[in-house]
Amino acid sequence: MKTINFLALLLGVLLLPGQAFAQYNAVQEVAPKAVATMLAEGALFVDVRETNEVEVLAYDLPDLISVPLSELPDRLAELPHNRPIVVAGRSGTRSLKAAALLSENNFTQLFNLTGGIIAWEAAGLPVRKMDRMRETMPAGKKQCCASTSATEETTGKSCCAGKTGAASEKASCGEKGKAKGKSCCSGGSR
């Protein structure tokens, strides 16, 4: 009896890796430059990065569907089973996980974008870069001065730690700016 249990356990251990990797075998890797042809032939491009990542740097493609990996299990019905699907992420790892999930749910024509948006951008393919802070700033204001108080405007003091002149160029925005990882005096990210 012990021998049978041992053999069953050994067989399970030997077969498990094959089953675990079978889902990845159903997914083909595709180079960034090959995607345009696939899209022209009817493939669907699915970006599985989280919304905050897409807001900063996005694939610039028509008919792209954004379904964050964290939402994918609940949104499978939005994706067609009858079209090739190119799954893309930041570097190719997360998209491979998403493609494996799709494979487990009977999607069969799956392609993982090799290298993700990093390789996409490096290949010179179209991206949209967003600077949310600049989009929400009043015209002519630096990032730190968007909410300048009347006191700051009348005293001529910068919002940068209440410093004036050259000293303001070296000051930080205080806790609010630090929390966002921004430097108010340089107008950009630290």
Q: Is 136 helix (H, G, I), strand (E, B) or coil?
A: helix
Would you give the DSSP letter of residue 109?
S
Residue 62 CA to residue 141 CA, distance in Å, equals 33
Across the range 32-51, mean pLDDT stands at 95
Confidence of residue 26 (pLDDT cuts 50, 70, 90): confident
Q: What are the residue ranges of CATH 3.40.250.10 in the chain?
A: 2-129
Provide the pLDDT for residue 63. 86
Task: Pick 75 or 6 by higher pLDDT.
Answer: 75
The CATH number of domain 2-129 is 3.40.250.10: yes
Predicted confidence (pLDDT) per residue in 133-162, tens digit: 444 444 444 433 333 333 333 444 434 444
Record the pTM. Answer: 0.59
Do residues 88 and 46 lie in contact, with contact meaning Cβ atoms separated by under 8 Å?
A: yes
Residue 138 CA to residue 159 CA, distance in Å, equals 15
CA distances from 129 to 37, 111, 132, 169, 176 (A): 24, 25, 10, 26, 23
Residue 23, judged by CB atoms within 10 A of its CB (0-12, 13-18, 19+), counts as middle
